[in-house]
């Protein structure tokens, strides 16, 4: 039997990249998936089509996780369409690097609103629907240990994600709801292509620092998400799993 048969999952920011990879992997293991997107309807629709063509169940749902009413709507879509919620993947996130002298209020607020407030609002909306055995998976980043120059704000958001993961693991543990984080290294996605990372000296530099000798692929992260969503990880909560090929 598929590991997630009968389960329902919400994946935020799932129209491309890591989120799309996670949504497809969860569906491939039997979960019905809400594919959330903020702006790329075409991307989310393509993910849903890929899932349904493979025999899975999915629906695309627009919503800005940093707005409380929209975060509530994303979660409600799981209940309306599939009748329950078992897995929440807080993947929505943005990144923008700047040296300390270039940091602005807008730079700070955009990243903290989506990466931190969005996670909190979506989890708040979801927790009342989650029962024993449910899994919340927060997508953090290996930047919290690599500590890259010019990433003070972005790294700050992911440090907050790591800390919140531990707090919520303790807070929701009595209800037998597990909360863990995945901390990816550099992953080849549309975003890292657009940023000019993939194919650059920067990519080569990261690959050289990575014991396994390459940057990651979305499916590398998705496999860890499937593990954390399933009963295979039933004894794990409050963990931060570096999915980085050994990059630290």
248 vs 161, residue with greater confidence: 161
Helix (H), strand (E) at residue 138: strand 135-139
Q: Give alpha helix (H) positions in the chain.
A: 17-28, 41-53, 68-82, 105-112, 118-127, 143-146, 152-172, 190-194, 201-209, 218-229
Joined tokens for residue 33 = 């998936």
Could you say which of 37, 95, 108, 154 is catalytic?
154
Q: Angle 65-193-71 (CA atoms, 0-180°, nearest 5)? A: 5
49 vs 248, residue with greater confidence: 49
Instruction: Give the whole-number percent of the chain exceeding pLDDT 70.
Output: 100
- Residue 188: pLDDT band with limits 50, 70, 90: very high
- Is-contact 23 15, C-beta < 8 A? no
Q: pLDDT for 15-71, tens place per residue?
A: 999 999 999 999 999 999 999 999 999 999 999 999 999 999 999 999 999 999 999
Q: In the prediction, which pLDDT does 193 show?
A: 81
Joined tokens for residue 130 = 């989650």
**Residue 88 scores a pLDDT above 90:** yes
Joined tokens for residue 118 = 């969005």
Helix/strand/coil for 124? helix
> Would you call 95 a catalytic residue per the annotation?
no
For residues 65 and 70, give the distance between their C-alpha atoms in angstroms, rounded to a whole number.
Answer: 6
Joined tokens for residue 110 = 């955009």
**Residue 195 scores a pLDDT above 90:** no
């Amino acid at each position: 039997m598929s590991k997630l048969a009968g389960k329902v999952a919400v994946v935020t920011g799932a129209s491309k990249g890591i989120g799309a990879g996670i949504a497809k992997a969860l569906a491939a293991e039997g979960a019905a998936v809400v594919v959330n997107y903020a702006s790329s309807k075409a991307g989310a629709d393509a993910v849903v089509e890929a899932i349904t063509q493979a025999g899975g169940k999915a629906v695309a749902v627009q919503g800005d996780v940093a707005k409380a009413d929209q975060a509530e709507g994303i979660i409600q879509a799981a209940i309306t369409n599939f009748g329950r919620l078992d897995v929440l993947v807080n993947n929505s996130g943005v990144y923008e690097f700047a040296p300390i002298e270039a940091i602005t209020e807008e730079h700070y607020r955009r990243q903290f609103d989506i990466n931190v407030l969005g996670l909190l609002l979506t989890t708040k909306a979801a927790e009342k629907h989650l029962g024993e055995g449910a899994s919340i998976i927060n997508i953090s980043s290996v930047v919290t240990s690599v500590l890259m120059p010019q990433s003070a704000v972005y790294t700050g958001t992911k440090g907050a994600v790591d800390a919140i993961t531990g707090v919520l693991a303790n807070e929701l543990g009595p209800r037998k709801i597990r909360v863990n984080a995945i901390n990816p290294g550099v992953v080849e996605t549309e975003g890292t292509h657009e940023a000019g990372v993939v194919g650059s000296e920067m990519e080569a530099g990261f690959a050289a620092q990575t014991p396994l000798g390459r940057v990651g692929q979305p499916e590398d992260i998705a496999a860890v998400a499937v593990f954390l969503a399933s009963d295979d990880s039933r004894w794990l909560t409050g963990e931060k799993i570096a999915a980085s090929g050994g990059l630290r």
